[in-house]
Structure formats: C-alpha cells, structure tokens
Amino acid sequence: MIVVVSMARPDEYDRSDGASGHKRRFEKLTGCPVLNMHYSAVSPEALDRVGARAVFITGFGYPWSDVPMTDLYGLNDFLHTTEIPVYAACGGHQLVGFCFNVDLRKAKELFDQPMRKLRPGETDQGPYSHPGYYVATGYQEVEIVQRDPIWKGLRGKFRVLEAHYCEVKKLPPGFDLLATSPECRIEMMKHRDLPIYGAQFHAENWVEPYFDGRTIMENFFRIAGLIA
C-alpha cells in the first residue's frame, strides 16, 4: 500500500473526497494500491493500520501560517520514527525541514520562507501569485551533488517541474544534500538514518519529453521494494 498524504486544506480535501492525480499515476507506475490520507489524520499508528509500505507527502499552495500546528503532531511523530520510505515534495519537503529544524510542539505557528525578492527588471508574477518575490516555474535544470540510489539512470543534471516561491533555508541536522539549483540550494535532501527523501521540485509531475521525474519516482518505489 502506498499512502499519499495530502497537505490540502481540510475543506478542500473534503470537497474533493481526497481525490488525487497522484493516486492514478502511482498505481499505474507500481501496480500497487494507493490510499489518500489527509495530513491531520496521519500518525505512526494510522499508517501501521493501513499497512503502508511507502509514503508520499504532497505540496500545497497556501501560507504556512494557515496550518494548525496541532494537526501536524501525528505526522511529525511519524517522520521522526519511520521505518517506511518517505518521499516529500515541495510543501511536504518544507514540512520535513520544519520537523527536523524546530520542535513543532513548541512552535506556535510556521511561516513561509521565500527564496528571494525579485531583482530589478525581473517579471512580477502578479497579485495572484507572490508579488515582489521570485517564483520558480516550469521544467528547470537541477544538479546532483551527491550520488544516491534515487539517481539511478540519471547523470549530473536533470530537468523537473518547479512550482514554488519558498524553500528549506537550512539543511536539517542528520540530512545530506543530494541536489541543488542556482535559485534553490536545497533541491533534494535525504536523512542519513531514516528512509526520508525531501524534494523541492515535483518529480511526480512528469510530461513528455521531460521524463526525469518519472525515473526519480520509479527509483523511490524501487527503494521501497514496490517495483523490481
């Protein structure tokens, strides 16, 4: 069983009945069933009950300050004790950074950590994005800085979808930096002792001719023992 942890707002998750394109894509990729679960329902016990063998944490598009801290406690506890392989994307990657850089049970709220402000002459994405700040969009090049099984079939640089204006500012204790880009230093990281990967980019959203993301996701599910 693959569990997709949705970071959607509770009302948006309820309205969509937890539907996700990840479910269809991961089931097709692995042949394994996929269960969607809202982040507020996640705990070590909940994931044990459903027989999770791999966990994917999604991104999201609203401010971190809107996330109730108590809703993150169960997911935080899971991340600190997991033996199940975890892949966290975009906002999920940032959550992993928060969970290992700060004590969530002592934090009152979390705040966005933008990459940088716009430089003179750069195009502002407008009021419906993040005015005044650089936003990474489209299929961009990322560079591998440390070899790992997640990179099987890739060399040096690869191209994946970017869709974010925030980043993980500080590599958490116990993590290694695996990939970087000119605008985002921590594009991918991995815990040294726990089976946790965090990626700022969206490898899960691949399209022709950009299939490097598919290679990365296949490698993750191979690491989890779900595909040969």
Interval 130-175: pLDDT, tens:
899 999 999 999 999 999 999 999 999 999 999 999 999 999 999 9
**In terms of Cα–Cα distance, which of 126, 119, 116, 79 is closest to 99?**
79
Question: CA 185, CA 194: separation in Å to the nearest integer?
Answer: 22
Q: What is the pLDDT of residue 219?
A: 98
Q: What is the pLDDT of residue 47?
A: 98
Q: Please give the C-alpha separations between residue 136 and each of 65, 90, 125, 219, in angstroms, as whole numbers.
A: 21, 11, 10, 25
Question: CA 218, CA 226: separation in Å to the nearest integer?
Answer: 9
Asked if the 2-223 domain carries CATH number 3.40.50.200, the reply is no
Q: In the structure encoding, which two tokens stand for residue 134, read together? A: 């650089």
Spatial neighbors of 195 by CB under 8 A, at least 6 apart, are 82, 83, 84, 85, 86, 223, 224
Q: What is the pLDDT of residue 207?
A: 95
Question: CA 147, CA 137: separation in Å to the nearest integer?
Answer: 26
For the chain, which ranges sit under pLDDT 70?
14-19, 127
Q: Please give the C-alpha separations between residue 68 and each of 24, 25, 40, 104, in angstroms, as whole numbers.
A: 29, 29, 9, 11
Q: What is the pLDDT of residue 125?
A: 79
Residues with catalytic roles: 90, 202, 204
Spatial neighbors of 166 by CB under 8 A, at least 6 apart, are 64, 91, 94, 112, 113, 114, 115
Q: What is the pLDDT of residue 15?
A: 59
Look at strands 157-164 and 175-180 and give their pairing. unpaired
Q: What is the pLDDT of residue 123?
A: 87
Q: Where are the domains of the chain?
A: 2-223
Beta strands in 39-187 (DSSP E): 54-57, 86-89, 136-144, 157-164, 175-180
**In terms of Cα–Cα distance, which of 23, 18, 15 is closest to 39?**
18
Q: Give per-residue pLDDT as tens, 83-98.
A: 999 999 999 999 999 9
pTM: 0.95
Please, is 171 exposed, middle or buried when counting C-beta atoms within 10 Å of its C-beta (0-12, 13-18, 19+)?
A: middle
Q: What is the pLDDT of residue 17?
A: 53
